[in-house]
């Protein structure tokens, strides 16, 4: 199976509320994690990333939390807006053979923002 997975396939939140999207990973060798957003008919868009030497990183309205003990990653979106409706993917980035990097994506969570 996939080494990166999401707990919930869908999430509905009220406009203005905070959203939390979760992701579990299984490879302890992964040292870099990224969140992407994919709107319908478009390619994924980079949101925020975090390296394994950090446990929290904040961006504009988004925060990523990393818990290496339980191999868990979360994306928090503050004051969720209709434009945040999309599929969100987590991805883990680890060093493979030699200096090559491998990128593994989670299955995605569909976030729907309700008016």
Half-sphere exposure of 105 (CA within 13 A, CB side): 12
Could you say whether residue 44 binds another protein (CB under 8 A)? yes
Nearest to 61 by CA among 49, 72, 47, 74: 47
Binding mask 53-92 for another protein (x = CB under 8 A): ------------------------------------x-x-
Least separation in angstroms between CB 28 and another protein: 19
CB 28 within 8 A of CB 71: yes
Work out which of 43, 60, 83, 115 binds another protein, going by CB under 8 A: 43
User: Can residue 1 be called a binding residue for another protein (CB under 8 A)?
Assistant: no
CA distances from 55 to 4, 18, 49, 65, 67 (A): 18, 20, 11, 6, 6
Three-state secondary structure call for residue 100: coil
Binders of another protein among residues 22 to 41 (CB under 8 A) are 32, 34, 41
Would you give the binding string for another protein spanning residues 96-115, x where CB under 8 A is met? x---xxxxxxxxx-------
Between CA 45 and CA 89 the distance in angstroms is 10
> Contact residues for another protein (CB under 8 A)?
2, 32, 34, 41-46, 49, 89, 91, 93, 96, 100-108
């Amino acid at each position: 199976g996939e080494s990166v997975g999401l707990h919930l396939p869908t999430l509905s939140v009220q406009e203005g509320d905070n959203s939390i999207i979760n992701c579990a990973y299984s490879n302890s060798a992964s040292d870099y994690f990224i969140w992407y957003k994919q709107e319908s008919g478009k390619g994924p868009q980079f949101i925020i990333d975090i390296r394994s030497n950090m446990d929290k990183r904040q961006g504009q309205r988004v925060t990523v939390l990393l818990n290496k003990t339980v191999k868990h990653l979360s994306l928090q979106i503050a004051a969720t807006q209709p434009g945040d409706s999309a599929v969100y993917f987590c991805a883990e980035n680890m060093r493979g053979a030699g200096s090559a990097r491998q990128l593994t994506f989670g299955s995605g969570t569909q976030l729907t923002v309700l008016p």
